[in-house]
Amino acid sequence: MTARDPRLPRAFYERPTLTVARALLGQHLVRVQASIRLSGLICETEAYGGPDDESSHAFRRTPRSAIMYGAPGHAYVYRIYGIHHCLNAVTEPAGQPGAVLIRAIFPQEGIELMHSRRAVQSRAHLADGPGKLCEALGIDLAQNGLDLVTDEALFIETGESIAEAEVRATPRIGVRGSAEARGRPWRFVWTPVSAPAARAS
């Protein structure tokens, strides 16, 4: 067994959403099921705000989006198209809505199990989208509301420091709202020279 990296603390998430969205690149997302670690380095995120962001679920407070107004560092999981799940990390101090959608990871651990769930041959395509990521890691609505700082089944550990030269900021993908909201460069993508190697179990 190798020593594990420390988890990201609450203070990491209790910051402006755009700051967290960029800072999550390179961090180590971990899912534990039946004592098996499935994980990957976060390589794509999107920031979502509150009433000032027409593309966000929190543009209007509803029972579903109420978690975005709550304490930072919790998982916000929702389903789209009635099929796929999406994982977000709640940001900002409590009462100020915000969350970061984790769109993709570079798989690191539990890759064989990810392959069995995704039925794809390429490691590069195991978790290169928010729905694919949740399918590969076994994340669904049961994980909605989990505390990423303290939970044993879903959390984020300290990962790698990512150079600005390897980061692109673009408009978010497939969002609704005004043209101004749709055009905000709130999607962050880590494009390393070569994909990080998988970790030994």
Secondary structure string (H, E, C) spanning 48-111: ECCCCCCCCHHHCCCCCHHHHHCCCCEEEEEEECCCEEEEEEECCCCCCCCEEEEEEEEEEECH
**Residue 108 in this model has a pLDDT that exceeds 80:** yes
How many other C-beta atoms lie within 10 A of the C-beta of residue 39? 25
> Model pTM?
0.95
Give the 3-state secondary structure of residue 27: coil
Of the candidates 75, 78, 84, the residue with the CA atom closest to the CA atom of residue 24:
75
Residue 54's region, left for phi above 0, alpha for psi from -120 to 50, else beta, is alpha
* Residue 2: predicted pLDDT: 46
**Residue 4 in this model has a pLDDT that exceeds 80:** no
pLDDT, average across residues 174-182: 95
Domain 10-190 class in CATH: alpha beta
**In angstroms, rounded to a whole number, what is the distance separating the alpha carbons of residues 68 and 158?**
23
**In angstroms, rounded to a whole number, what is the distance separating the alpha carbons of residues 22 and 183?**
17
Higher pLDDT, 143 or 197: 143
Please answer whether residues 115 and 132 qualify as being in contact, where contact means their C-beta atoms are separated by less than 8 angstroms.
Answer: no
Summarize pLDDT for 24-79 with one digit per residue, the tens: 999 999 999 999 999 999 999 999 999 999 999 999 999 999 999 999 999 999 99
* Residue 186: predicted pLDDT: 98
Pairing of strands 28-33, 75-80: unpaired
Of the candidates 112, 98, 33, 39, the residue with the CA atom closest to the CA atom of residue 70:
98
CA angle (77, 80, 82) in 5-degree steps: 110
Residue labelled with tokens 């978690």: 67
